[in-house]
Amino acid sequence: MTLDVAWAVDWVRRSAQAVAEHRDELVELDRQIGDGDHGENLNRGFTAVVAKLDALEETPAEIGDVLKLVATTLMSTVGGAAGPLYGTAFLRAAKATAVPELDTKGVVALLEAALEGIVVRGKARTGEKTMVDAWTPASEAAAAASDAGASPAQALEAAAQAAADGAQATIPLVATKGRASYLGERSAGHLDPGARSTELILQAAAQAAA
């Protein structure tokens, strides 16, 4: 089994739907430790992405074409930290998926490239209460699933579950990166909004594959 361009398009549409449905939750999470715009910014960005998908006159030839459209649109429409971080993630992922179909190793390459983009752009590492705390275990879980002979869908399911666990694990952490770091010890006890949106987006990828 492989994942094709139709999967990538479905992933993007499901991501947009998930972000829209959880917009208020993401706003509230960010209000607690940030500036409160994460949900609104991401919702605006993915709404613009779907509009661009709808306007395409022909289906993209490669998965990377879909992800590059996501990247450029998010970078141009999403404010705050999320636009550059997610934009870079999808841009790196697009370069790693310049093919019509992905096998399990291709899924791993996608996730590893996205994580690398976020780390390079945000200068963050695990344990600092950022989206890296969800992306890192997701990437590692997909790689482990691939080594165990999993299908692409199973690798994405493992990644989504690991992202969910990683997001929850940010709650007790003290933020040392980003706006939340200004709160110091008071940032502990709150779920990181970027980790939560990562969880939603990777859940969408798994659902599209299933």
Over the stretch 106-158, which tens digit does the pLDDT of each residue have? 999 999 999 999 999 999 999 999 999 999 999 999 999 999 999 999 999 99
Residue 185 has pLDDT above 80, yes or no: yes
**Rounded Cα gap, residues 41 and 176, in angstroms:** 22
pLDDT value of position 183: 81
- Could you list the residue range(s) of the whole structural domain that residue 73 is in? 3-209
Residue 34 has pLDDT above 90, yes or no: no
CATH number of the domain at 92, please: 1.25.40.340
Percentage with pLDDT > 90 across the chain: 90
* 134, two tokens: 């969800």
* 152, two tokens: 């692409």
Distances from the Cα of 107 to the Cαs of 52, 131, 206, in angstroms? Answer: 24, 19, 11
The long-range contacts involving 117-120, CB below 8 angstroms and separated by at least 24 positions, are: 117/88, 117/89, 117/90, 117/91, 117/92, 117/93, 118/85, 118/88, 118/89, 120/88
Residue 4 DSSP one-character state: E
pLDDT value of position 141: 98
Looking at the 3D structure of the chain, how many domains does it have? Answer: 1
